[in-house]
Amino acid sequence: MKYLTKEWYYGNKNICLDLEVDTKAEKLSEEYYKELYNSKLNSFLEEEKEVSEMDYEPETWEDIQIMDDEGNIISAREVMSEEEFEALRQQLLEEEQNQQDVEIEPYDEEASTNDFLEMHQDEIEELKENLPKEILDEVADIRVLALGVATEKVKDLVDKYSQECEMKFEKPFNEYNKHWYSIADKVPAHIKENYNFHDCAILKMTKCGNDIVFELDNSGGFTNINKITYKDAEILQNNFVEGCYWIYDEMYLCDKGYECHIAVDGENGYDYITLQASDVIFE
């Protein structure tokens, strides 16, 4: 991968805090922390109870929203044929039916209380790990921040840092998209229209004569394709692990035809599969 690298992937800071401002967060106060914690806990328990008692209304999936190559949310009908859309719709209906068959666990206040505490503790550790020291030094009580409350100054600092992190995350996508648009008119339609395997699991990768064949579990993705054949292929980098997930991909033109970079996530973490091929065939 030239853009969506390991350094980029592991360097991402995921800061998604919707902070409330309260001047009480300026000072360390055990009394204020307990009051805030109990308030947030009670709200969480109420939501959990409501969900457990909610009547389930199945989705008909008359419209399906997906993300395009530029990160925009669009209707699947815009990029799929009627047959492809209906196949995806039926797949989602089947998955929904399977979910209905799973019995919803009754509300358990003690278990939900423990879940909230565990999530709170995890959030504290994530903030300590992801926020820079100059912001943490302005925080009187990291526990209060983890509950979504901060001073106005800290909120401004966190919001600014979050935006910077988002820009750093998006930058490689934007740069790769520029590359893709520069070569798109040289890539045949059957590849452009079908090369979309985000969140598909790669079950097997086998060599068949001069070809490399990928067998996919596409239940988690947005494609009906479950087999990819790279013609006259040569593996340049092989970090395939059975069942790893196809996360991102990049494509380049080369003397052989196409150089395909695939970022996968499996038991060994984020890694790459790179190969060259004269063509790519889908089944």
Residue 99 has pLDDT above 90, yes or no: no
pTM of the predicted model, to two decimals? 0.74
pLDDT at residue 1, rounded to an integer:
96
Instruction: Give the residue ranges of DSSP H helices in the chain.
Output: 6-11, 30-53, 82-101, 109-130, 133-136, 142-146, 152-183, 189-192
pLDDT > 90: what percent of the chain?
76
Is the Cβ–Cβ distance between 106 and 217 less than 8 Å?
A: no
The model's confidence at residue 52, banded by pLDDT at 50, 70 and 90, is confident
Q: List the one residue out of 71, 64, 5 whose CA is nearest residue 223.
A: 64
Instruction: Kindly report the number of other CB atoms within 10 A of residue 157's CB atom.
Output: 19
Q: How far is it, in rounded angstroms, from Cα 164 to Cα 161?
A: 5
- The arithmetic mean of pLDDT across residues 91-97, rounded, is 80
pLDDT at residue 92, rounded to an integer:
85
For the purposes of burial, counting CB atoms within 10 Å of the CB of 40, is it exposed (0-12), middle (13-18) or buried (19 or more)?
Answer: middle
pLDDT tens per residue across span 167-213: 999 999 999 999 999 999 999 999 999 999 999 999 999 999 999 99
Query: 26-30, 48-52, 158-162: which range is least confident on average?
Result: 48-52
pLDDT tens per residue across span 19-29: 999 999 999 99
Q: What is the DSSP letter of 29?
A: -
